[in-house]
A and B are shown apart, each in its own frame.
Chain A
């Protein structure tokens, strides 16, 4: 675990609300090695989700450098970031964010629409991803026909299907009961351990954080643990 998949240097992030400028992240530096499973913890408003957005290429820093999977994200255009996200990162959200009108399989196929794969290949890859997360038997079901745990597995399959190097998970168990949450966390652990996926997970739940290899704590826009290095 030497090569850093995520590297932040002196990152600031400010938002402007009306005439006020709110500093969310201040001079943050961080390295996450490839193959790591990191849980980001902290109270509401501490900047966890903002940091996750920056690592996932959903947002750009006000200043500082962000390098993920060898790419300087702070230098990419909006189109460049979209292209990078499609190839390098998979997202898992608290509320699954599946398309309600599409079946589980079609939901998982969505990232593959951006590739040159044929329809048959897309279908096969989607089924393989659903099989990996243990929910292939629900491939034809729509999200409203799935339990929360099942829906989150579909969301994880969607995040995995394009074989990204990094999984970014924002409170992935926040909407699940304990049993389903543990299942999902075991799944993430398996993906990290057996498939080498690097995972950054935001969570409020200390039990969920225990599934990660490391825990990072944030407060008021800074890492409490200091500049965490591998």
Chain B
């Protein structure tokens, strides 16, 4: 601690340079904090406690490949499965591709039975939905966002499904009611959802009739979910439509993973950032030590030994990197709510503090070692020769 005032003063010897270096390291660790958290969420998707009794069965090879409707009946026969319902990806937007709508064709009875106590729907509106073949239940937040009203027609453009009647991708629904979600953690995930009848969709589409996108199951005992998932997949082993059954919490992540290895992408970004940072901070440290050669020589003259000088320069590097890392990681935690808005359905919790500090220490040692060695090997007579 007695060297802290010397280290601190040295760090701020060139204020502008130190501020810019701190900023660049801070931004790198802000990115590190965010990406580590997202990476952890993708690597440990079932860390959430809600929905532990829900399973999801998909085509084993791709979420874009469908399953035969008959699979539902077989799955319902598996002991321990309390309910099973089916859904297909509709891929919709409202008026403009930017206005994404998470439109889901559902089987009303089985869907709401499976998700009982999760949705809040006024009884008259639920009744109206059951009675209206073209009816749609719209998330209340979405209704408000686009200024829709109950009783209005809702035109949605599907990016996949053409209609049997005219080959059009434009579908029309009648807004008969709204719903909200009880669980606050699920509220944002459902904020773009529109529910409509599977029967109307299946009969109206020009291809794919009798097939389904995926099957959702609720099991009687959440602790048995893993074994039941294995039993379901065993049912369809070696069939033309092999399945992969997983916790429902993993679905959003599985869907995103279709686009590539998220972990690899995140690590590649971080690798590039820190590789650049090594040169940037390393160069700054080298420059800083180069400018202070006479001062370091004076310290040696006063009796500071080689090891002490090595330690001082390394400590300076540590101070710079750890301060910036702490600020960056703190900012990344503060920014988590914003990231959550863009990654609906993905549970994010801060994970990067310990690995972040470890990376900061490693970074400090790597960038600090060359100038520290230079300081250590300094020849006093040569260093003082220019200025004494």
Contact residues of A with B, CB < 8 Å? Answer: 53, 56, 58-59, 78-79, 82-87, 91, 93-95, 97, 99-102, 106, 110-111, 113-114, 119, 122, 158, 170
Contacts and interface: CB of A to CB of B under 8 A. Distances in A.
Nearest to A122: B2
Given A100-B13, A101-B12, A59 B381 contact: yes
A99 to B, nearest CB: 6
Given A59-B381, A97-B387, A82 B5 contact: no
B302 A111 contact: yes
B299 A110 contact: yes
A220 to B, nearest CB: 20
Contact of A101 (B9, B299, B301, B306): B9
Shortest beta-carbon contacts, A-B, top 8: A86-B303, A82-B305, A101-B9, A85-B303, A93-B388, A97-B298, A101-B13, A111-B302
Contacts of B380: 58-59
A179 B300 CA distance: 31
A100 B294 CA distance: 11
Nearest to A88: B303
A99 B304 CA distance: 14
B4 to A, nearest CB: 10
Interface centre among B5, B9, B301, B308 (most CB of A within 10 A): B301
Contacts of A79: 305-307
A58 B304 contact: no
Nearest to B12: A101
B9 A102 contact: yes
Contact of B302 (A53, A86, A106): A86
Contacts of A110: 6, 299, 302
B298 to A, nearest CB: 5
B87 interface: no
Contacts of B384: 58, 93, 97
A163 to B, nearest CB: 13
Contacts of A56: 301
Interface in B206-238: none
B146 interface: no
A120 B83 CA distance: 76
B9 A106 contact: yes
A95 B387 contact: yes
A114 B300 CA distance: 11
B276 interface: no
A114 B303 CA distance: 8
B7 to A, nearest CB: 11
Nearest to A87: B303
Given A102-B5, A110-B302, 12 more contacts: A58-B384, A82-B304, A83-B303, A85-B303, A86-B303, A97-B388, A100-B13, A101-B12, A102-B6, A114-B302, A158-B302, A170-B388
Nearest to B295: A99
Interface in B299-321: 299-308
Interface centre among B13, B301, B303, B388 (most CB of A within 10 A): B303
B375 to A, nearest CB: 13
Interface residues of B, number: 26
A94 B388 contact: yes
A87 B307 CA distance: 18
B10 A101 contact: yes
B13 A58 contact: no
B301 A58 contact: yes
B301 A85 contact: yes
Nearest to A107: B298
B3 interface: yes
A97 B6 contact: no
B381 A91 contact: no
Contacts of B301: 56, 58, 85, 91
Contacts of B387: 95, 97
Interface centre among B12, B294, B298, B308 (most CB of A within 10 A): B298
Nearest to B302: A111
B260 to A, nearest CB: 49
A53 B380 CA distance: 9
A91 B302 contact: yes
A86 B302 CA distance: 6
A114 B305 CA distance: 10
Contact of B306 (A78, A94, A106, A111): A78
Contacts of A58: 301, 380-381, 384
Nearest to A94: B388
Nearest to A50: B381
A196 B155 CA distance: 101
A113 B388 CA distance: 22
Contacts of A85: 301-303
Contacts of A170: 388
9 contacts: A79-B306, A82-B300, A82-B306, A84-B303, A86-B303, A95-B388, A101-B12, A114-B302, A122-B2
Interface string B4-22: 0110011011000000000
Nearest to B298: A97
Contacts of A101: 9-10, 12-13
Interface centre among A82, A93, A119 (most CB of B within 10 A): A82
A106 B8 CA distance: 12
Contacts of A99: 6, 9, 295, 298
Nearest to B309: A82
A84 to B, nearest CB: 8
Contacts of A113: 2-3, 6
Contact of A83 (B294, B295, B305): B305
A91 B380 CA distance: 13
A53 B12 CA distance: 32
Contacts of B13: 100-101
